[in-house]
Amino acid sequence: MKKAIVVYDTIYGNTEKVAKALASGMSEKGVQADSISVQKVDINRLKEYDLLAIGGPTHAFGISKPMKGFLEKLKKVEEVKGKKAFAFDTRMKIRIAGSAAKKIEKKLTKLRMNIVRSSSSAFVLGSEGPLEEGTEERFRQIAGEIANLI
Evaluate whether 35 touches 23 at the Cβ level (below 8 Å). Answer: yes
H/E segment holding residue 126: none
The pLDDT, as a whole number, for residue 57 is 97
Helices (H), ranges, the chain: 14-28, 65-74, 100-110, 135-149
Of 30, 55, 21, 25, nearest in space to 145 by CA? 25
Total tally of structural domains belonging to the chain: 1
Q: Is the pLDDT of residue 114 over 90?
A: yes
Q: What is the CATH number of the domain that holds 19?
A: 3.40.50.360
Average pLDDT, the chain: 96
Query: What domain range includes position 16?
Result: 3-149
The pLDDT, as a whole number, for residue 96 is 85
pLDDT in tens, 73-94: 999 998 999 999 999 999 999 8
Which range has the worst mean pLDDT, 15-29, 45-59, 85-99? 85-99
Residue 118 has φ and ψ, to the nearest 5°, of: -55, 150
Rounded to whole angstroms, the Cα distance separating 98 from 134 reads 22
The pLDDT, as a whole number, for residue 5 is 98
Rounded to whole angstroms, the Cα distance separating 24 from 106 reads 25
Q: Is the pLDDT of residue 106 over 90?
A: yes
Of 93, 86, 87, nearest in space to 129 by CA? 93
- CA 114 to chain CA centroid, Å, is 14
Q: Which one is predicted more confidently, 6 or 150?
A: 6
